[in-house]
Amino acid sequence: MVEIIDGGITTPQGFKAAGVHSGVKYRSLDLGMLYSEVPARAYCAFTSNNVKAAPVQVMMEENSKTLSAVVVNSGNANALTGRRGIEDAYAMKQAVAAELNLDPKEVGVMSTGLIGRFLDMHKIRYGISRAARELDVGREPDKLICEAIMTTDTIKKECAVRTRLSDGTLVYIAAISKGSGMIEPHVKVLHGTTLTMITTDATLGDDFADTWQSILDDSMNMVSVDGDQSTNDTCILMANGMSKSKPADHDPEFEAALRLVMTKIARTIAMDGEGASKLIEVQVTGADTKDDARKVVKTIINSPLVKTAIFGADPNYGRLMMAVGNSGCKFDLNEVRLTIKGGDMEVPILDSGAPIFQDERAVEVVRMAMDNKEVTIMVDLGVGEETATGWGCDLTYDYVRINAEYAT
């Protein structure tokens, strides 16, 4: 059984964290560090955007299977910075390694913020030195590292759980993330921005990679704020084995716990989309294939017309069906069912391709369901057994304002 607990990234045994102000940002915390007391098995996934930031290129080139530390700066993405950006990413790794007596290959590196600006390495080195001295365990360092990796985020994104594995060992899993804009991750194993770090004291081996990709495909890869995939998306899972468990690569209890953590993080990212006022969850059932189900979800949550309709609580279900049709996926219009849920209200809209309601009173009921902080759209395609769920947010005036002024 999985239990959500009050905890953060340092909850699993052997992990420490810090968050400091290095000076990259004017006043806010802007550099975070995560450290494992023993080398941890690392599973990394990166953006599929063909324009990759320097830290992503460096991490992919080294492809380290073991990490002991990860350093993250915010305020500067170190993207589109050429050879100097690559050198600066390596310099960040080397600075952490020197402070913690590690091999640079044991250090992961991430960056987020403005694109096309060179890092001020004097400030970065100062921040790294300070963070290394302040590494600690507990809710305060959990809070500080969460704040240090934020850009336009308005809330901390963290989750911690505990579960008992099939061999009886009690293990912990925790995650932190940042992400508010430029978000439609398509992260692949070995291959505004989402940066995610997950820690666990469970033991994992080489067989976990496929399960890890499957979990990413059902969680982080089903989030979209604006349909734009970042140059910097990175997700790192560190398993240090300090629980002394047997390898949990195929343990259903561990997989269920990690899926819960990643789903909670994914929902929180969508909820905190730039300027968002509502979380949109889309549940697709009755699809012919899993790919079709996922594609329909993404088409709905990425549609500007759908997102603005949700923002205005406008019960224009034609926009939803337009998105289903535009997905290019197989469905039977004579079998399609559409339902909208908000708060305690669950309102059937369409059945067998025809509207259920016609009068103004019924339309007002739909509007009331849509006028909630969380709105769920349920679509049954009527052609198969496959399902998918994804998360997005509404499109508000504030999204335009934030992104029109982002670099200034």
Catalytic residues: 193
Question: Which conformational region is residue 113 in: left (phi greater than 0), alpha (psi within -120 to 50 degrees), or beta?
Answer: left
Give the tokens for residue 382: 């009527």
Which region, left, alpha or beta, applies to residue 142 given φ > 0 means left and ψ of -120 to 50 means alpha?
alpha
Nearest-angstrom CA–CA distance, 306 and 325? 13
Torsion of CA 293, 294, 300, 301, to 10 degrees: 150
DSSP classification of residue 247: P
Helix (H) or strand (E) holding 97: helix 82-100
Nearest to 334 by CA among 286, 290, 376, 366: 286
Q: Contact, 339 vs 347, CB < 8 A?
A: yes
Pair 175, 198: CB distance under 8 Å: yes
Q: What is the distance between the alpha carbons of residues 192 and 273, in angstroms, rounded to a whole number?
A: 10
Round to whole Å and give the CA distance between 277 and 310: 10
The count of residues in the chain is: 408
Cα gap 348→345, rounded to integer Å: 10
Q: How far is CA 167 from the centre of its chain?
A: 30
